[in-house]
């Protein structure tokens, strides 16, 4: 009888072909003007946080993301930190976010001296379950002058942060209804979702603000970097001010009007980002082709279910994901594929299971707990969809 590990290895070998090992989970692909644009920065001396590529990348990114304003940052966590501040999150207040997410989402809340409040997800999207959240807020929330308060802790609930897990959009219309009903701003963590569409529009165009990451493992990378996206010109102005140490513009004086942050992306990284963004269309095509090959290969599997985008979305398939059948030993499967050179990975440890966040408020997280034990991510680099096997 073929073991789950052997079955997965056979499918990976069939889909990816004769490929050099180890096969990374997600690595960048450089086939555009990266060298030329970075060399231009070096030749002109514009390498820090001021330069033409910063302005160009912000403009190109805003257009691609369906918003009029983009503000570049040093990483996605910094972007989310500032976005939460701009949404009005204050010390001691609670921010609703999924337990199934990367730790940066919770850390950004903590940087505001606020409290993560963990909510459950749905299997359909891996993201926030809007219906379950609405029922929970009706039970635990109480509306007072000044907003929605947690009747158990007495603290104000300040914002909702949906996360588009592995690039798959959550149901934003449903969450926006919850946000409106309870008077909460939506700050969308789209770190993994550049190029993903929700009902034919960029998922990054939804919410009061949204944020991106350009870490080395993202679909478009600047080595390290992030961005704040918004339709609101005043929020964009404040975002740029806060991320530039809150320095008051002047030809020589160093005046600052509030506590700010040194969060701006350098021109060198922005140049790299311009070159990468020019290739986004090709990356998306390649990643969809890879996802379709995986989907076909796992059809009818007795061990695994391939996770497909929800019907209302077009995902960038940043990371392809499997759901292992209930009761399967995920660790033995991971051990087998890693020993064969395929660097698959599990989902993140759930936030409430980490020591620093174990005492934070939370709703029933049974779906998240079930999914976390069953999710397995597959090698998903764009070049694998291009047939580049070296």
| Measured distance CA(293)–CA(313) in Å, rounded | 19
pLDDT at 385 over 80: yes
Establish if 216 belongs to a structural domain. Answer: yes
Establish if 390 belongs to a structural domain. Answer: no
Task: Check whether residue 208 and residue 257 sit in a common domain.
Answer: yes
| Confidence (pTM) | 0.96
Task: Check whether residue 42 and residue 186 sit in a common domain.
Answer: yes
Task: Check whether residue 124 and residue 235 sit in a common domain.
Answer: yes
CATH number at residue 167: 3.40.640.10
CATH number at residue 335: 3.90.1150.10
pLDDT digits (tens, 9 = 90+) for 2-36: 889 999 999 999 999 999 999 999 999 999 999 99
For every residue of 178-241, DSSP letters joined together read HHHHHT--BEEE-TT-TT-EETTEEGGGSSSEEEEE-BTTSSS--BS-EEEEES-HHHHHHHHH
pLDDT at 324 over 60: yes
Task: Check whether residue 349 and residue 268 sit in a common domain.
Answer: no
Establish if 318 belongs to a structural domain. Answer: yes
The SS3 call for residue 350 is coil
Q: Which of 277, 312, 344 is the last residue of a domain?
A: 277
Task: Check whether residue 359 and residue 287 sit in a common domain.
Answer: yes
Task: Check whether residue 215 and residue 328 sit in a common domain.
Answer: no
pLDDT at 1 over 80: no
Task: Check whether residue 209 and residue 356 sit in a common domain.
Answer: no
Cβ count near 378 (within 10 Å): 29
Sign for the pseudo-dihedral over CA of 323, 327, 331, 336: negative
pLDDT value at position 389?
61
Task: Check whether residue 269 and residue 285 sit in a common domain.
Answer: no
pLDDT value at position 67?
98
Q: Which of 236, 262, 277 is the last residue of a domain?
A: 277
pLDDT digits (tens, 9 = 90+) for 118-156: 999 999 999 999 999 999 999 999 999 999 999 999 999
pLDDT value at position 153?
97
- In the chain, the number of structural domains is 2
Q: Which of 243, 277, 311 is the last residue of a domain?
A: 277
Task: Name the token pair of 145.
Answer: 């002058």
Domain with 288 in it? 4-25+280-385
pLDDT digits (tens, 9 = 90+) for 65-122: 999 999 999 999 999 999 999 999 999 999 999 999 999 999 999 999 999 999 999 9
Task: Check whether residue 135 and residue 232 sit in a common domain.
Answer: yes
Model confidence at 318, pLDDT cuts 50, 70, 90, reads very high
pLDDT at 390 over 70: no
pLDDT digits (tens, 9 = 90+) for 259-279: 999 999 999 999 999 999 999
Mean of the pLDDT values across residues 196-224?
Answer: 97
């Amino acid at each position: 009888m073929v073991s789950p590990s052997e079955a997965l290895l056979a499918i990976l070998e069939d889909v990816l072909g004769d490929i050099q090992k180890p096969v990374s989970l997600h690595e960048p692909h450089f086939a555009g003007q990266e060298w030329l644009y970075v060399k231009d920065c070096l030749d002109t001396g514009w390498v820090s946080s001021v330069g033409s590529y910063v302005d160009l990348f912000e403009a190109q990114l805003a257009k691609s993301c369906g918003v009029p304003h983009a503000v570049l940052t040093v990483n996605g966590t910094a972007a989310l930190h500032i976005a939460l501040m701009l949404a009005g999150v204050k010390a001691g207040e609670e921010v609703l976010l999924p337990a199934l997410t990367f730790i940066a989402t919770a850390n950004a809340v903590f940087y505001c001296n606020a409290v993560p409040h963990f909510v459950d997800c749905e299997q359909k999207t891996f993201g926030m379950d809007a219906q379950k959240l609405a029922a929970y807020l009706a039970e635990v929330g109480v509306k007072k002058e000044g907003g929605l308060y947690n009747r158990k802790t007495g603290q104000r609930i300040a914002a909702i942060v949906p996360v588009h897990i592995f690039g798959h959009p959550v149901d934003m219309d449903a969450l926006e209804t919850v946000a409106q009903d309870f008077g909460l701003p939506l700050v969308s963590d789209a770190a993994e979702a550049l190029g993903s569409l929700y009902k034919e529009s960029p998922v990054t165009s939804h919410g009061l603000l949204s944020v991106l990451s350009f870490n080395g493992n993202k679909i478009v990378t600047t080595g390290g970097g992030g961005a704040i996206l918004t339709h609101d010109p005043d929020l964009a102005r404040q975002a740029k001010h806060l991320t530039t140490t809150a320095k008051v513009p002047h030809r020589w004086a160093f005046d600052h009007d509030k506590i700010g942050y040194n969060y701006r992306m350098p021109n060198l990284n922005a140049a790299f980002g311009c070159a990468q963004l020019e290739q986004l269309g090709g990356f998306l095509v390649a990643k969809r082709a890879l996802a379709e090959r995986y989907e076909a290969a796992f059809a009818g599997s007795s061990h695994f279910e391939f996770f497909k985008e929800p019907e209302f979305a077009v995902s960038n398939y940043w990371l392809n994901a499997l759901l292992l059948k209930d009761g399967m030993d995920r660790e033995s499967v991971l051990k087998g594929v890693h020993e064969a050179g395929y660097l698959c990975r599990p989902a993140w440890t759930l936030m409430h299971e980490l020591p620093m966040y174990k005492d934070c408020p939370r709703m029933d997280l049974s779906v998240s707990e079930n999914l976390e034990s069953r999710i397995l991510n597959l090698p998903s680099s764009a070049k694998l969809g291009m047939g580049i096997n070296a």
